[in-house]
Amino acid sequence: MGNKKSRIWLTFFLGALAALAPLSTDMYLPSLPVMTAVFGAGPSLIQLTLTMTMAGMAAGQLLAGPVSDQRGRRRPLLVGMLVFAGSSLGCVFADSIGWFLGFRFVQGLSGAVGIVTARAIARDVCEGAELTRFFALLMLVNGLAPVLAPVIGGQVLLFTSWRGVFGLLSAIGLILTLATLIFRETLPSEHRIRSLTASFRSFGGLLKDRYFLGHCLLQCCFFGAFFAYISGSSFLFQDVYGISAQAFSFLFGGIGAAIALVGLIPARLAGRVSDERLLVWSLVQALAGSAAFFVCCWLRAPFVLTVLSLLLTIPMVSVLGAASFSLAMRTQGKNAGSAAALIGFFSMISGGLIAPLVGIGGSGNPMPMAVIMVTGYAAALLFYWWMIRPQQAQ
């Protein structure tokens, strides 16, 4: 992986690329209740702005993965970051919910290039326990985004409207474009897939791999539950518990800090504790924590108990992300981009489908969010026992 200095630079660069997802979804969360009034739309339609971004990210990864396996990592990434900056600027000037939804989709589509390329580059330069450790470090760097994004978004609202948030996202896109210009290609031409058609065809082989598909479905359910929290938390805390947008941004950031801190665990234990054990732990604790959150929502428990229940479950996303990704990617060489794309597709499309469902009970009803979280984590655990564990036992 080169010297220590280049490793640190690459870690932060890839972490910033992977952070495009939480930056795009989390930074404007404090603005959601305000945007319902600006666009004259209900909670479900406003949460559809999350759906459009995640749908774009899901579709974009299916395209970006094979292209990066055939064209290399650098050129597709440069185009993606330029389009991300432009579409974020389009969100600033959108004057209707229709235009805003369209720009959000393009923002997700282009941002997906950064997300899938970061994962593919990690596979290019690492393998085995080192891959787990490096990906855990990426999750740690990436964990700073949920901490900072809503806090920054909440503070931006003190000085300007929600449009300023997307102006900042456009600037981030330009910075990543400049960083890509100095990035050194990690996929030599002799290691690339010759035909783009063959690269797309590799999706079929990956989906026939029961073990790999098990990880895709597990992450689909797990991240669906996680995105229920992402899309519903602002309404839960601002409309149900009555806290301000600024207070919510700090609360959301605090839970994000817990995600980052828990992300240190797989990084420290890689090579000493198996990825399988880390995976099972994250699944069981996430399910137990979501059950506690369900009870809190059902009983309209005090604010502190509700926050504690979320702290039991939400930070597990960093452990599961590192362990499951490392296990799924170990046997993927030339197909690293396509494999990372499929994993990303399954995790993002579930979030896109779930986001509008969270608001079906209205902004003052947290039960849909709680039900989706429990169901998603339970389904993820079932996919582990049904499709992944039997293969590991062989």
Q: Which residue has the higher pLDDT, 264 or 382?
A: 382
Mean pLDDT on 293-314: 96
- Looking at residue 142, its pLDDT comes to 62
Predicted confidence band of residue 232 (pLDDT cuts 50, 70, 90): confident
Query: For residue 148, is pLDDT > 80?
Result: no
- Looking at residue 93, its pLDDT comes to 92
Split into its structural domains, the chain has a count of 1
Buried b (16+ CB within 10 A) or exposed e, 110-127: bbbbbbbbbbbbbbbbbb
Query: For residue 4, is pLDDT > 80?
Result: no
Write the DSSP symbol of residue 359. T
Q: Quick check: 335 and 281 in contact, CB under 8 A?
A: no
Predicted confidence band of residue 16 (pLDDT cuts 50, 70, 90): confident
How many helices (H) and strands (E) the chain has is answered by 18, 0
CATH (domain of 102) = 1.20.1250.20
- Looking at residue 125, its pLDDT comes to 78
Is 202 inside any structural domain? no
Q: How far apart are CA 301 and CA 68, in angstroms?
A: 48
Write the DSSP symbol of residue 329. H
Residue with tokens 């499951």: 324
Looking at the DSSP assignment, which residues form a beta bridge with residue 273? Answer: 270
Q: Concatenated DSSP letters for 61-80?
A: HHHHHHHHHHH-SHHHHHHH
Q: What is the pLDDT of residues 167-226, one digit of tens each?
A: 999 999 999 999 999 888 888 887 777 777 777 777 888 899 999 999 999 999 998 999
Mean pLDDT on 239-257: 85
Is 119 inside any structural domain? yes
Is 190 inside any structural domain? no
Phi, psi of 52 (to 5 degrees): -60, -40
Is 107 inside any structural domain? yes
Q: Concatenated DSSP letters for 117-176?
A: HHHHHHHHH--HHHHHHHHHHHHHHHHHHHHHHHHHHHHHHHHS-THHHHHHHHHHHHHH
Q: How far apart are CA 308 and CA 250, in angstroms?
A: 15
Alpha-carbon 50 to chain mean position? 12
Query: For residue 245, is pLDDT > 90?
Result: no
Residue with tokens 């229920």: 228
Alpha-carbon 257 to chain mean position? 15
- Looking at residue 3, its pLDDT comes to 61
Is 194 inside any structural domain? no
Query: For residue 28, is pLDDT > 60?
Result: yes
Task: Tell me what the pLDDT averaged over the chain comes to.
Answer: 85
Is 118 inside any structural domain? yes
Q: What is the pLDDT of residues 339-355, one digit of tens each?
A: 878 888 888 788 777 87
Predicted confidence band of residue 121 (pLDDT cuts 50, 70, 90): confident
The model's pTM is 0.76
- Looking at residue 273, its pLDDT comes to 87
Write the DSSP symbol of residue 384. I
Boundaries of domain holding 348: 4-185+207-393
- Looking at residue 284, its pLDDT comes to 97
Q: Concatenated DSSP letters for 170-201?
A: HHHHHHHHHHHHTPPP-S-GGGS-S-HHHHHH
Q: Quick check: 3 and 100 in contact, CB under 8 A?
A: no
Is 287 inside any structural domain? yes
Residue 210 has a CB neighbour count (10 Å cut-off) of 12
Q: What percent of the chain has pLDDT over 70?
A: 92
- Looking at residue 101, its pLDDT comes to 93
Query: For residue 147, is pLDDT > 70?
Result: no
Query: For residue 90, is pLDDT > 70?
Result: yes
Which H or E element spans position 20?
Answer: helix 20-26
- Looking at residue 25, its pLDDT comes to 79
- Looking at residue 267, its pLDDT comes to 73
Is 201 inside any structural domain? no
